[in-house]
Amino acid sequence: MSDKKTKTRDQIDRKYKWNIESMYPNEADWDKDYNAVMQMSDEYAKYSGRLGESAGILLEAFQEKDKIWQVAEKVYVYARMKRDEDNRVTKYQALADKCHALLAKASSSMSFFTPEILELPEEKLLGFIQEEPELKIYEYLVLDILREKAHVLSKAEENILAQMSEVTSATNDIFTMLNNADIKFGTIADQDGDEVEVTHGRYINFLESYDRRVRKDAFDRMYDAYKKQINTIATTYNYNTKTDVISARIRRYDSTLASALSSDNIQKEVYHNLIDVVNKNLPTMHRYTELRKKLLGVEQLNMWDVYVPLIEIPEKAVSYEEALDIMREGLSPLGPDYLARMNKGIQEGWIDVYENEGKTSGAYSFGSYDSMPFILLNYSERLKDVFTIVHEMGHSMHSAYTRETQPFIYGGHSIFTAEVASTVNESLLMQHLLQKETDINMRKYLLNLHIEEFRTTLFRQTMFAEFELLTHEAVERGDVLTAEWLCDQYEALNKKYFGEAMGDDEYIRYEWARIPHFYNAFYVYKYATGYSAATAISNKILHEGKTAVHNYIEFLKTGESNYPIELLKIAGVDMSTPEPIELAMKTFKELVDEFESLV
């Protein structure tokens, strides 16, 4: 896959594509499920006003609700993933768009459910659970609903909000289409002098080039494209943030942050602890950027110098098959059952491997409760791509264990816990590679790579978290997020995080405009907390062995059966305290110390 021209979907070998047909071998079945959800949603109104009649009626209503959402989820996941194969295909654009209407209808039809539950006397509701054994499974869910009582509106108001959901999600869809289907970055001459198109998938590879001219050209092409669209993107993000703020106010939260954290029952202190601890440790990051400047031998460090490895090793393409073998070795501490399940998934077609024209950029793990836990990649044969496979496999294995153990209602994951599962895998792989490495130059390379994982996950995502806090607080004050204000705030944060070693740059101020996660408010901080928790858990697995592995696998089986903070305690980590973040910062300092001593 070293071709410099991006292939079309039909040019990719079938064995490198996910087995999405396993969801719907015949797309007519997709239509049947779509129509079934529509019909079941219409019929669900029969439970309105009846939830307090008996334990049996309440159980029926819960079970029918689960049935509707389980089928709706499958319908949506298929349409979304087919669109992601090639965002330019109008057929699947249309299917994905239809799903927004479907989900809005399903939400609207059930919008009475939670308000009606809350209208029931608490003693009667809990009495039903004791009376009907099959209702016991819903006890945690009911208690969670009661916890949120102050933020649930009347039936009529909930119905209005449910119907509006199709509109309020528009900004995310607008940005997705602009970012994946419409925006073009042009071409640059690569290190061989060949003209190559700049794409999302190739961008980081260009920034890792040892040819500084290539890095700068790719950086300039990327951000010049966003600069040209900056007013449109700023307006889109402004209204996205306004939607968050208005939604939080309607539901009587004191802030958008409180609203976003509420579903996981996370206290605001957890968010602020992350920012505070990382800010206190910025001097170590600044020491690293000074070291980067020195080792690159540049008078001024620029943002296009941030990703290039500081230690040059002979270029070696890592084939996809080799990457899978490396993953198997690195994850062997997780035991034979984990590896057997993982290998079976690979053989069955979980993974869509290579970039093609129109394919959604980046990587993810996705699926429905009763589908494979699919993985989208844009694999480009770098060692870093091996870490991406391992990361997404962590998500998919988490899903596989959970769906086998938990009922549908608890079969998903909070991002707060999901990012732990992915990052434990990355950490184990890194420790494996460092442990077996005997070449001093390669060890320096791996140390640098590990430091970069901390920079790009813990530090970078925390910087994003600060940016989100600034933007939402500004809108809460009544300010408008203009393009200039957004760029100024982002540029100031970038300077704070990178320190004096980083020179001024005309383009980095536009970087916020290319971050899709900003359209899902207060999401990115979970990458940083997850990285901190995963660092602690992987150390336990490597040093405590079977007991730690057992506890970790038990954690993987829990899904959403309790609040994230409580679930992580099963694996031996308490994220309600700053301690895991402080321990991660200690590890980061040790890595920088060792790296500096070796170079």
Predicted confidence band of residue 149 (pLDDT cuts 50, 70, 90): confident
Instruction: Measure the CA–CA gap between 256 and 79, rounded to whole angstroms.
Output: 30
Instruction: Measure the CA–CA gap between 134 and 149, rounded to whole angstroms.
Output: 24
What does the pLDDT look like over 178-200, one tens digit per residue? 998 889 999 999 989 999 999 98
Segment 266-287 mean pLDDT: 96
* 392 belongs to the catalytic site: yes
Give the least confident one: 308-322, 399-413, 550-564.
308-322
**pLDDT for res 1:** 42
Segment 576-580 mean pLDDT: 93
Predicted confidence band of residue 168 (pLDDT cuts 50, 70, 90): confident
Predicted confidence band of residue 313 (pLDDT cuts 50, 70, 90): confident
**Are 307 and 292 within 8 A, CB to CB?**
no
Share of the chain above pLDDT 90, in %: 86
Give the CA-trace dihedral at 65, 71, 73, 77, to 10 degrees.
Answer: 180
Contacts of 272 (CB under 8 A, 6+ apart): none
Q: For residue 313, give Cα distances in angstroms to 244, 248, 325.
A: 46, 50, 21
What does the pLDDT look like over 328-370, one tens digit per residue? 999 999 999 999 999 999 999 999 999 999 999 889 999 999 9
Segment 257-272 mean pLDDT: 94
**Are 20 and 374 within 8 A, CB to CB?**
yes
**pLDDT for res 505:** 87
Segment 64-70 mean pLDDT: 98
Instruction: Measure the CA–CA gap between 390 and 387, rounded to whole angstroms.
Output: 5
Q: For residue 34, give Cα distances in angstroms to 64, 71, 78, 79.
A: 16, 8, 11, 11
Half-sphere exposure for 260 (CA within 13 Å, toward CB): 26
Catalytic option among 85, 355, 392, 468: 392
What does the pLDDT look like over 137-146, one tens digit per residue? 999 999 999 9
Instruction: Measure the CA–CA gap between 30 and 44, rounded to whole angstroms.
Output: 21
Which tokens is 562 given? Answer: 């309790």
Segment 432-445 mean pLDDT: 92
Mean pLDDT of the chain: 94
Task: Please determine, for residue 4, whether its predicted confidence score (pLDDT) is greater than 70.
Answer: no
Instruction: Measure the CA–CA gap between 473 and 522, rounded to whole angstroms.
Output: 12
Contacts of 574 (CB under 8 A, 6+ apart): 565, 568, 580
Instruction: Measure the CA–CA gap between 242 and 259, rounded to whole angstroms.
Output: 14
Task: Please determine, for residue 2, whether its predicted confidence score (pLDDT) is greater than 60.
Answer: no
Segment 472-491 mean pLDDT: 97
Task: Please determine, for residue 3, whether its predicted confidence score (pLDDT) is greater than 70.
Answer: no
Task: Please determine, for residue 535, whether its predicted confidence score (pLDDT) is greater than 60.
Answer: yes
Q: Give DSSP secondary structure letters for 309-321.
A: -SS--------HH
Segment 486-508 mean pLDDT: 94
What does the pLDDT look like over 7-58, one tens digit per residue? 999 999 999 999 999 999 999 999 999 999 999 999 999 999 999 999 999 9
Task: Please determine, for residue 244, whether its predicted confidence score (pLDDT) is greater than 90.
Answer: yes
Instruction: Measure the CA–CA gap between 429 and 410, rounded to whole angstroms.
Output: 29
**pLDDT for res 84:** 95
Half-sphere exposure for 518 (CA within 13 Å, toward CB): 29
Instruction: Measure the CA–CA gap between 44 and 112, rounded to whole angstroms.
Output: 10
User: What are the chain's domains?
Assistant: 18-168 (1.20.140.70)
- Does the pTM surpass 0.85? The reply is no
Burial of 466 (0-12, 13-18, 19+ CB in 10 A): buried
Tell me the three-class secondary structure of 436-487, residue by residue: HCCCHHHHHHHHHHHHHHHHHHHHHHHHHHHHHHHHHHHHHCCCCCCHHHHH
Instruction: Measure the CA–CA gap between 594 and 444, rounded to whole angstroms.
Output: 9
**pLDDT for res 201:** 82
Give the least confident one: 153-167, 220-234, 328-342, 398-412.
153-167
Half-sphere exposure for 80 (CA within 13 Å, toward CB): 18
Q: Residue-wise over 427-455: b if at least 16 C-beta within 10 A, else e?
A: bbbbbbbeeeeeeeeebbbbbbbbbbbbb
Neighbours of 79 (CB within 10 A): 24
